[in-house]
Amino acid sequence: MSPAPILKEVKVFAPATVANVACGYDVLGFAIDSPGDEVVVRHSDKPGLRITKITGDDGKLPKTVEGNTAGVAALDLLRHLGMMDRGIEMEIHKKMPFGSGLGSSAASAVAGAYAVNKLIGEPLSKKQLLPFAMTGEASADGAYHADNVGPSLLGGIVFIRSNQELDIAQLPVPENLWAAVVHPDIEILTKVAREILPKHIPIENATQQIGNLGGLICGIIQEDYGMISRSIHDVIAEPHRQKLIPEFYKAKRAALSNGALGFSISGAGPSVFALCEGEEVAKNVANAVSKVFTDIKLENQMHVSKINQKGVHVIS
């Protein structure tokens, strides 16, 4: 016999994320405060999981559970728990753009799994929800990497030793580390951004990238902003993906000249990000980068945030 429901309804928020963090392709990501996705779930007398409402998607997302990342993640969780007949209604409120490089599909998957887990009495911990959220995100783009799902679920800065084994670790967050994220209003599909990457990497580039990733992790752990700054360099993906983002290098120069520790592409793009020491620097950097896009008549949105250490959570 199933336990009695603890809550009638649960509403959760899953934050956007910055994946790769320049030199950490598919193995490093962090969460920001906004934007993000909201999911509401409630009990239903009708058996099974159903998506009853979606907002903010301009009609792009399917309401079929099997065709939606939030639905797939929640369904995978219920299947694992042997609760496929549990009656649950789900609402999805998209509050971030598609193809933005900010982990939109990951946020929905995380929110779906977390909300349902809460509704049924929280049988699993946050970290135990990771494979179900991963299944949800993978249903959208076919890729299986936790650099968006991990930080959206757990919060903070997440390093993934192995995506196949989902062997992940949360790094300590430097007290005064801020992110300046700017999203230009163009859409870049992850599939396209992956297709333009080289199939083979020169050994000297691989060595340099490994050194930068190690240096960035050391800088984060030791709160060494100088080391962070020297390490935020991507010699593998950025040189190829930058051509998809108008005036990328001009934006990068604007960020660095205004005090950014480093600047690169968020995930597959087109969003770009800078890590900064302090809120004032982050605001100045965001404004400078935004102006580069505005000057070429490209609409854009700014998000200035400390590293979000909460991850997905219940909201009222």
Residues acting as catalytic residues: 137, 190
Pairing of strands 157-162, 262-265: unpaired
- Bridge partner residues of 272 (DSSP): 182, 265
202 alpha-carbon distance from chain centroid = 29
Fill in the DSSP letter of residue 65: G
The helix (run of H) or strand (run of E) holding residue 61 is none
State the Cα–Cα distance between residues 120 and 168, nearest whole angstrom: 26
The residue with tokens 């639905």 is 71
Fill in the DSSP letter of residue 67: G
| Side-chain-side CA neighbours of residue 203 (13 Å) | 0
- Bridge partner residues of 306 (DSSP): 178
130-141 and 104-119 helices cross at what angle (nearest 10)? 140
The residue with tokens 């700014």 is 302
